[in-house]
């Protein structure tokens, strides 16, 4: 990991500086941190109306750590984007939280979060971006979780479902990276409210770099005809911060089980080498 941080980041940064594309790349001393003054760990609805993401039930407002006594998320099931068949399972999850249970969140159990939950990190881990001419690699420190985004290529005809699916991207307008993702497994959720999805999930992210290079505004368009009645859009923001890349292996360092979780920390059944 350290070699990747110092060597990979340096090569990536040089490749970007010598071209006319936006500089998302980080180095071993900087990363992208979720701007909690913007979306508070969630995608927020676009201004001016339109279909937006699932947020918290107004009768059970979500309070994140540091803003008072923290609470777990209770999904607003009145959002018109949800098909009726999805609501019973989400209500069951809501009821468990209201009764004092612990809500499942992928990052806290060391499971891959998928997309677009990757854009609404709930554990505070920074992102480190390695930007090469034909590929962008995004590493979330805790886990670690890794996404590969292949530039200026079409999707495969039939990508095999995987945790982060198949992401292809291109640059637009000199300041924006557009990422198109399909082929995700249905074992993840699309948000922090435990909203399910099918393998037909289609996500388009637009990462727009600010003029000073200090923030990235992320617009996310989500479509899944198996779960949602309509496509919806959500927004988030990341801020460039001074933070070193360190090796944090989530499953191996998570030495205690949180009371109430029904999904265990993943454990390897055989050695990797």
Residue 101 lies in a domain: no
What is the span of the domain harbouring residue 217?
2-52+114-247
Percentage of the residues of the chain whose pLDDT score is greater than 90:
55
What is the domain count for the chain?
Answer: 1
Please give the pLDDT value at position 259: 43
Residue 95 lies in a domain: no
The pLDDT confidence band at residue 156, using thresholds 50, 70 and 90, is very high
**Mean pLDDT on 59-73:** 79
CB atoms within 10 A of CB 178: 17
Residue 77 lies in a domain: no
Residue 76 lies in a domain: no
**Does 161 have pLDDT greater than 70?**
yes
Kindly report, residue by residue over 19-28, the tens digit of the pLDDT: 679 999 998 7
Residue 169 lies in a domain: yes
The pLDDT confidence band at residue 258, using thresholds 50, 70 and 90, is very low
Residue 256 lies in a domain: no
- Cβ-based neighbours of 119, under 8 Å, separated by 6 or more: 43, 205, 218, 220, 236
Please give the pLDDT value at position 268: 65
Q: What is the CATH number of the domain that holds 202?
A: 2.40.128.20
65: three-class secondary structure by DSSP: coil
Residue 100 lies in a domain: no
CB-CB contact of 207 with 193 (8 Å): no
Residues pairing with 238 in the sheet: 34, 216
> Could you tell me the sign of the dihedral formed by the alpha carbons of 92, 227, 201, 183, in that order?
positive
Specify the pTM: 0.85
CB-CB contact of 209 with 176 (8 Å): yes
In degrees, to the nearest 5, what angle opens at C-alpha 225 toward C-alphas 231 and 113? 75
Pseudo-torsion of CA 142, 148, 151, 153, nearest 10°? -150
Residue 82 lies in a domain: no
Token pair in block for residue 187: 């074992």
- Cβ-based neighbours of 238, under 8 Å, separated by 6 or more: 32, 33, 34, 35, 127, 215, 216, 218
- Least Cα distance to 15 among 130, 128, 173, 133 occurs for 133
């Amino acid at each position: 990991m350290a070699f990747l941080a110092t060597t990979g980041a340096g090569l990536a940064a040089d490749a970007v500086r010598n071209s006319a594309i936006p500089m998302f790349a980080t180095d071993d001393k900087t990363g992208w941190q979720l701007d909690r003054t913007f979306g508070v760990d969630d995608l927020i609805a676009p201004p001016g109306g339109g279909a937006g993401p699932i947020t918290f039930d107004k009768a059970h407002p979500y309070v994140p750590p540091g803003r008072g006594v923290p609470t777990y998320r209770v999904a607003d099931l009145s959002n018109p984007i949800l098909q009726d068949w999805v609501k019973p399972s989400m209500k069951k999850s809501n009821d468990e939280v209201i009764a004092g249970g612990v809500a499942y969140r992928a990052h806290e159990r060391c499971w891959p979060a998928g997309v677009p939950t990757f854009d609404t990190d709930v554990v505070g881990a920074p992102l480190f971006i390695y930007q090469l001419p034909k590929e962008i690699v995004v590493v979330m420190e805790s886990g670690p979780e890794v996404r590969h985004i292949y530039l200026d290529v079409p999707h495969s005809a039939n990508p095999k479902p995987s945790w982060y699916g198949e992401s292809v991207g291109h640059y637009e307008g000199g300041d924006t990276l557009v990422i198109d993702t399909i082929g995700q497994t249905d074992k993840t959720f699309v948000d922090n409210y435990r909203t399910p999805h099918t393998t037909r999930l289609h996500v388009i992210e637009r990462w727009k770099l600010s003029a000073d290079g200090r923030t990235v505004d992320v617009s996310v368009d989500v479509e899944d005809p198996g779960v949602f009645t309509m496509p919806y859009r959500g927004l988030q923001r990341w801020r460039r911060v001074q933070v070193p890349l360190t090796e944090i292996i989530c499953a191996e360092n998570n030495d205690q089980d949180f009371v109430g979780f029904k999904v265990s920390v993943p454990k390897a059944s055989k050695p990797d080498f």
